[in-house]
Amino acid sequence: MKNQVKIVLVGMPGSGKSTLGKEIANKLGFKIYDLDDLIVKREGESIPKIFMDKGEGYFRRLESNVLSDALDRDEAFVLSTGGGAPCYNENMEIINQKGISVFLDVSLEQILERLTKGEVAKRPLFQGLETGEITLKLQDMLSERIDYYEKAKIKLSGDDISAELLISELLTFFR
Ligand code: S3P
């Protein structure tokens, strides 16, 4: 595979970007970065705290800046992004210019199952919501975001997305 390949995972919160990111990076021997972790490192505050103290607008500007700096790194890596990252500013265009974007197209049922299994606390957009409200919120978010996600160069659909499947898609991509 080519040098300095940047694989960028996009998709809804709870679609498994971080888990798949670690697996694929491990298999390819690439570094793994998580955009939210890079944001926390840059700001010295947790994501919920950034939302609470400074608001979503501030978070989105920070997210775009950290994303564009990450994509300028002179190395091969896998980057898992926050669910909203491709949908603000020119982020999806920049991702596609500099990397290979991969959309994890997981069903809302599976996302809901993951989010309600204790994954809500670290996600400010879902805090304080009941399961039914989370479902409605997810449906709304997906309909607003799907056009951005669909711009990804590779789309993996279904509920059993694996590192092996992504590797075979990447090989087809480079063929
Ligand atoms: C967000 C998703 C989160 C995080 C932030 C906003 C979103 O990341 O970036 O809370 O707008 O969907 P995950 O996709 O890892 O939950």
- Cβ pair 9, 102 in contact under 8 A: yes
The verdict on residue 107 lying in a domain is yes
The arithmetic mean of pLDDT across residues 45-51, rounded, is 96
**What is the Cα–Cα distance from 170 to 102, expressed in whole angstroms?**
10
- Express each pLDDT in 63-95 by its tens digit: 999 999 999 999 999 999 999 999 999 999 999
Task: Specify the DSSP element, H or E, that contains 10.
Answer: strand 6-10
Round the average pLDDT of the chain to a whole number and report it.
94
The verdict on residue 86 lying in a domain is yes
> Distance from the CA of 126 to the center of ligand 1, in angstroms?
10
The verdict on residue 58 lying in a domain is yes
Domain count across the chain: 1
- Cβ pair 11, 105 in contact under 8 A: yes
Which CATH number does the domain housing residue 108 bear?
Answer: 3.40.50.300
Domain holding 12, by residue range, is 6-169
**What is the Cα–Cα distance from 124 to 109, expressed in whole angstroms?**
20
- Express each pLDDT in 106-128 by its tens digit: 999 999 998 887 677 788 999 88
Identify which of 125, 127, 129, 142 to mutate to test ligand 1's pocket (most ligand atoms within 8 A of the CB).
125
The verdict on residue 175 lying in a domain is no
ipTM of the complex: 0.98
105 CB-contact burial (10 Å; exposed 0-12 / middle 13-18 / buried 19+)? middle
The verdict on residue 65 lying in a domain is yes
Please give the backbone phi and psi of residue 69, each rounded to the nearest 5 degrees, phi first: -65, -40
> Distance from the CA of 104 to the center of ligand 1, in angstroms?
14
- Cβ pair 78, 37 in contact under 8 A: no
- Summarize the annotated binding site as residue ranges: 14-19, 36, 60, 83, 123, 145
**What is the Cα–Cα distance from 133 to 62, expressed in whole angstroms?**
28
Protein residues whose CB sits closer than 6 Å to any atom of ligand 1: 13, 36, 47, 82-84, 123-125
